[in-house]
Amino acid sequence: MTVGTREDLRQCTDMRDVQGFRRNAQAVASHVCRVQEHRWVNARYKYLRLESDTGLASVTFPGQFYQLKCPVTEASQPFLLRPMSVYGTGPGAGGIQFLYNVTGTGTRALAELRVGDTMQIVGPLGNTFTIQPAFRRILLVARGVGLATLAPVVRAAASAGTNIVAVMSARMPADLMRDEFLGDAPADVHCVYDSNGSSAVDRVEILVRRLLTEQPADAVYTCGSQRLLMLLQRVLGDFPDVLGEVAMEQHMACGMGVCLSCVRLFDRDGSKQFLRVCRDGPVFPIRDVVGEVQYG
């Protein structure tokens, strides 16, 4: 797959707002970046910091993602670009950061990049989380790679002085990446693990209901687990005034709304619609997600 030029991309994107979610399609472009930092943060996840000559930081918002052109190595020949949420921006106007799980062909090849190498990325793509400076408290429910996607929300809330409550779910304590998620942001943190059973859906549901009752939140954000998403949808049914948003991770090819490989079914006020996760999302209202669908 070849990557379009800035002009190509301009022609196939526009500036529409979909359901009030912010998007900045006019900023989408292909960037050649240098690897500035690349290291393991634990046995499965790597942190990647790139520098481009263009001012990516000022046009990239929490929830958005880039398509990464992973290098071709002897062992791995990734064909499609791989979508990765923006984990952070900076330092400097051209800095962009990712936190990724090394799982398959593309990310194994990505993991081989060395400081000083160059790579191509396309973005910023997709819409952003709704984060209002007026919010007094937010609740974040993150699992696995979801914390890479939600980390910019933590930073935005912390700099706005918004109180943060976080439920972090992981297979075991070694997988949690608490520092990578929260940095030095003040937060009331609740960690749950598969290894001791505390991440079981019924136990997390009790925890989330208690947190929303005792520490009312203006918004709930989640990413990284279909089970947690459906749990939150159920819980939010009893908290109608709380905004709920999820960043969906769906297999995708083009990342720009053309190939339709990432469509999912949503229910907007009783109207069933297939939407493209890459172009209409990846951030959607939690209440709109339709679970348990067999796609043809």
Ligand X SMILES: Cc1cc2nc3c(=O)[nH]c(=O)nc-3n(C[C@H](O)[C@H](O)[C@H](O)COP(=O)(O)OP(=O)(O)OC[C@H]3O[C@@H](n4cnc5c(N)ncnc54)[C@H](O)[C@@H]3O)c2cc1C
**Which residues contribute to the site for ligand X (CB under 6 A)?**
65, 78, 82-85, 99-101, 103-107, 145, 148-149, 249-252, 282
Min separation Cβ 105 and ligand X, Å? 4
Question: Residue 4 or residue 126: which is nearer to ligand X going by CB?
Answer: 126
Contact 125, 281 (CB under 8 A): no
Min separation Cβ 20 and ligand X, Å? 19
Q: Which amino acid, 17? A: D
Query: Based on the number of CB atoms within 10 Å of its own CB, is 81 exposed (0-12), middle (13-18) or buried (19 or more)?
Result: buried
Min separation Cβ 211 and ligand X, Å? 25
- Mapped onto helix, strand or coil, the DSSP state of residue 235 is helix
Question: Residue 145 or residue 286: which is nearer to ligand X going by CB?
Answer: 145
Q: How far apart are CA 81 and CA 110, in angstroms?
A: 11
Min separation Cβ 157 and ligand X, Å? 19
Q: How far apart are CA 171 and CA 44, in angstroms?
A: 12
Buried b (16+ CB within 10 A) or exposed e, 168-194: bbbeeeebbbeebbbeebebebbebbe
Question: Residue 84 or residue 157: which is nearer to ligand X going by CB?
Answer: 84
Question: Residue 109 or residue 157: which is nearer to ligand X going by CB?
Answer: 109
Smallest CA-to-CA distance from 39 within 86, 90, 88, 102 is with 102
Question: Residue 33 or residue 217: which is nearer to ligand X going by CB?
Answer: 33
Residue closest to ligand X, measured at CB: 104
Min separation Cβ 17 and ligand X, Å? 19
Buried b (16+ CB within 10 A) or exposed e, 96-111: bbbbbeeeebbbebbb
Question: Residue 67 or residue 199: which is nearer to ligand X going by CB?
Answer: 67
Name the token pair of 58: 């000022």
Q: Number of C-alpha atoms within 13 angstroms, CB side, residue 197?
A: 1
Min separation Cβ 26 and ligand X, Å? 20
Min separation Cβ 103 and ligand X, Å? 4
